[in-house]
Amino acid sequence: MSSARLRFVLRRTAVMIPVIVAMSIFVFLVIRLVPGDPVRTMLGFRANDENVATIRAQLGLDQPLLDQYLAWAGGLLRLDLGRDFISNVPISQLLGERLPVTLELTFLAMGLAVIVGIPLGVLAATRRKSMGRATTAYAVAGISIPDFWLGIMLVLLMAGTFRLLPPSGYVPFLEDPVANLRYMILPVLTLAVAESAYILRTTRASMEETMGSPFISFLRAKGVSERRITYHHALRNAAIPIITVIGIQVGVLLGGAIVIEVLFALPGVGRMLVTAISQRNYPVVQAGILTVAIIFILVNFVTDLIYGMLDPRLEEGDE
Amino acid sequence: MSSAAASLQARRTFGGALRGLTRRVGGREALFGIVIMLVLIAVAVFAPWIAPHDPEAIDAAQVLAPPSLEHPFGSDTLGRDVLSRVIYAFRVSLAVAMGSVALAFLIAVPLGLISGFSGGWVDTIIMRPLDLLLALPALLLAITLIAIVGPGASVALIAIGIIYLPIIARVVRSSVLITKGLPYVDGARSRGVSETAVLRRHILPNSMGPALIQGTVLIAFAIQIEAALSFLGLGAQPPTPSLGVMLNDGRDVLTLAPWVEIFPGVAIAITVLAFTLIGDGLRRRLDPRGVTR
């Protein structure tokens, strides 16, 4: 790694830390911003003065705000996120069970979308007319159709009419990999369709731009085969915007996964969050939001790093 | 014949006028999108006259009746007419979507203008906090705000508007950065025009193109976000009909009466399609530099 690259990585890391701190403050404030008394809201009809005082002390809400934050942030650093207000299970244990489900869903969907979207985008940019029209139609449809509705239609078709796949449910991968993947097919497909449409659009735009640049004409004049020009030279040069979009879209998928988990009854972080909101289970709400946010920040960080690796200008030390 | 005269000649015929219009809006697809959008807005505005039935009228004899001449989209678990409900729900969904974008414009356009025009520490103070909003996935941010305030259609409107603040502010800011370096701005200054007048009369109108394109696309997303929130039970609450609420209701009778689920989804898809096509057309027409890409 050149010293310019090393500096780039260090600077990116340094930028990420204040963002995570700011995010933790924001999430910490969530429960404090609830109108009225959050503890009374949480307890609902079970709220009496004694209960309210106990829970308030248990959540540390009777301490000064700064002390509360420091205690909470200190807990975070030890991966201690407090306890589920309803089941009294440590939240870190809940997250340990649920995070793998969300990550599996998100990354399988992104993988599928990349496998479908990039080749179609390249084809759309390099072959004319009919291929361009077909891929445009796919891209527009993929963006217009709401993903969770597409999921419901897939359930109707695959689980209802043809009885090929289970409509909802989950088995951990380590318990039974085949069953796990069977349960994952519909949710992953649902999330991947819209995503592949975005990647297709970006790939096409970026490839069209690259294919029109002088170095491509030069390679053609040199007699390099069109296939080699497309995949070896042009795609590499067109990659930066595509990777940027993939990084941003992982965040969109993490959001989309919330709805898809609810729809397919997958026990992930998203479903935990939605359930916790309806039960006013604020400690779990905070943990869920913070977890997804931190994954998103980390993904953006990794995207930046890949971006840095691909950008040849960094070799010379300027950004 | 010069090209101007030729185009004048061409516009005298209907076909020529259509071609001219198509070029102005940025292509055939965009024209198609505009036509759909106008129809949809008309449906939303004139809902009480268009809907064939009362969307709330319960009819025990028509529970889960399949599509027929009387009920073209069938009827739901309470025997209510699905077509009429889709029309009224669409009204709510469109209002939330357009309202959220309008709200975001109202706040973000001045912020982006000042930020891009002033630069320096003003820019930093305005943009850094907004950037922080981008550190959360959009849907998660909306859900967080709803977790604080509680569910509802107006909360969803505000939440979506807040998600859009940094997006619109950034687009406005980057087009201001381009516009403020153009010769006619210097020209206005050298004539002694005050800074506020330069900002209002020269920079604002010439920086709005990319923001409008973004706004069109954001309405499309807002329709989907609203539907997703209501589907999760976090947006519009029954009895307020919204397309997402309808999709949530329809799930329980999916195999018995798929029409309850199919038509609201189709309505969302067509609306998003229309705004996406218009956005693409505007982009071709107004943003050759690719600020919004």
Candidates A19, A277, A289, A290, partner chain B, best to mutate (most B CBs within 10 A): A277
Classified as helix, coil or strand, B28 is helix
By percentage, how much of chain B surpasses pLDDT 70? 94
User: Which of B36, B90, B148, B226 is most worth mutating to test chain A (most A CB atoms within 10 A of its CB)?
Assistant: B148
pLDDT tens digits, B147-188: 888 888 899 999 999 999 999 999 999 889 888 888 888 888
CA distance B268 to chain A (A): 7
Closest CA relative to residue B116, chosen from B174, B72, B73, B161: B174
Question: How much is the average pLDDT of A118-127?
Answer: 87
Res. A319 pLDDT band, cuts 50 70 90: very low
- CB within 8 Å: A289 and B272: no
Sign of CA dihedral B77, B81, B82, B86: negative
User: Is B148–A274 a contact, with Cβ atoms under 8 angstroms apart?
Assistant: no
| Residue B187: how many other CB atoms lie within 10 Å | 11
Closest residue to A156, CB basis, from B149, B255, B273: B255
Tokens of B239: 């009895």
- State how far the Cα of B123 lies from the Cα of B115, in Å rounded to an integer: 4
Q: How far, CA to CA in Å, does A62 sit from each of A32, A57, B15? A: 12, 6, 74
Distance from CA of B109 to the nearest CA of A (A): 23
CA distance to A138, A143, A285, B259, per residue, from B212 (Å): 25, 19, 35, 36
Is pLDDT above 70 for A85?
Answer: yes
pLDDT at A314: 58
Q: Give residue B150's pLDDT.
A: 84
Q: Give the residue on B whose Cα is nearest the Cα of A149.
A: B265
With 0-12 CB in 10 A as exposed, 13-18 as middle and 19+ as buried, what is A12?
Answer: middle
pLDDT at A121 over 60: yes
Report the alpha-carbon distance of residue B227 to residue B90 in Å, rounded: 10
What confidence category does residue A269 fall into, taking pLDDT thresholds of 50, 70 and 90? very high
Best B36, B221, B232, B243 residue to mutate vs chain A (most A CBs within 10 Å): B232
pLDDT band with cut points at 50, 70 and 90 for residue B9: low
The more confidently predicted of residues A120 and A61 is A120
Residue A192 has pLDDT above 90, yes or no: yes
Q: What is the pLDDT of residue B289?
A: 53
**Is the Cβ–Cβ distance between B222 and B105 less than 8 Å?**
no
pLDDT higher at A289 or B25? A289
User: What's the pLDDT score for residue B1?
Assistant: 46
Q: What is the pLDDT of residues B250-271, one digit of tens each?
A: 888 887 888 888 899 999 999 9
Residue B280 has pLDDT above 90, yes or no: no
CB contact under 8 A, B144 and A255: no
CB contact under 8 A, B148 and A30: yes
Tens-place pLDDT, residues A231-263: 888 888 888 888 888 888 888 898 889 999 998
| Residue pair A30/A276 in contact by the 8 Å Cβ criterion | no
Percent of chain A with pLDDT over 70: 96
- ipTM here: 0.84
What is the greatest pairwise CA distance in chain A? 84
Task: Output the pLDDT for position B4.
Answer: 60
pLDDT, tens digit, 9 for 90 and up, residues B19-54: 877 877 777 888 888 999 999 999 888 888 888 888
SS3 A129: coil
Q: Look at residue B11 in the predicted model and tell me its pLDDT.
A: 56
Residue bearing tokens 């539907």: B227
pLDDT at B293: 45
Amino acid A317: pLDDT: 47
So what's the pLDDT on residue B290?
A: 52
Q: Identify whether the C-beta of residue A202 lies closer than 8 Å to the C-beta of residue A245.
A: yes
Q: Where are the alpha helices (DSSP H) in chain A?
A: 3-33, 38-43, 49-58, 65-77, 91-126, 130-144, 147-154, 177-211, 214-222, 226-228, 235-263, 269-278, 282-310
Task: Tell me which residues of chain B have a C-beta less than 8 Å from any C-beta of chain A.
Answer: 132, 135-140, 143-144, 146-150, 220, 224, 227-228, 231-234, 247, 250-251, 254-255, 258, 261-262, 264-265, 268-270, 272-273, 276-277, 293
Sequence-distant (6+) residues with CB within 8 A of A10 are none
| Average pLDDT, integer, range A274-288 | 87
Residue B55 predicted with pLDDT over 90: no
Q: Which of A162-171, A189-198, B269-278 has the lowest mean pLDDT?
A: A162-171
The number of residues making up chain A comes to 319
